[in-house]
Amino acid sequence: MRNPLEIKDLSIGDLARRTETKVQTIRYYEEIGLLPAPARTEGKQRVYGLSTLRRLAFIRHARDLGFPVEAIRDLLRLSDHPEQPCGDADAIARRHLAEVEDRIKRLRTLQKELKRMIDQHRCDGGSIADCRVIEVLSDHALCGHGH
């Protein structure tokens, strides 16, 4: 295996394999400006180097953590200027954490409601016409929680 500092001239397929990213996703990230336009061979094939590999790995990790594209764009902009203080990056991460915590709270409420609906309205072998789950879903007033 090559020394990572010598990585250059990776094809889009090589870049995709090394970062476990679909080729279409790499092209999309180029289109929306998260990745720079790649160099091209004389045959017009895209070629990538270590900096793009690292940038794509950063994007992938941020996406795995659920960061939205605009937050990733802001984080990349910050990472392009390593001499700046990290307060803005911290603020972005804190905002994302608050959004995740809010989403978890909403999901827990939905989980409780679904459990209640299933537990209180078990199917007793009747037909859909008598199904309590269908009835509850048809009438929001029968829900136990405001979701």
pLDDT in tens, 85-142: 999 999 999 999 999 999 999 999 999 988 888 887 667 777 887 777 788 788 777 7
In this predicted structure, what is the pLDDT of residue 1? 47
What mean pLDDT do residues 39-64 have?
A: 94
Domains and CATH numbers, the chain: 4-84 (1.10.1660.10)
Q: Which residues of 70-109 are buried (b: 16+ CB within 10 A; e: fewer)?
A: ebbebbbebeeeeeeeeeeeeebbeebeeeeeeeeeeeee
Would you say residue 2 has pLDDT above 60?
Answer: no
Residue reference for tokens 């996406």: 63
Q: Could you say which DSSP state residue 48 is in?
A: B
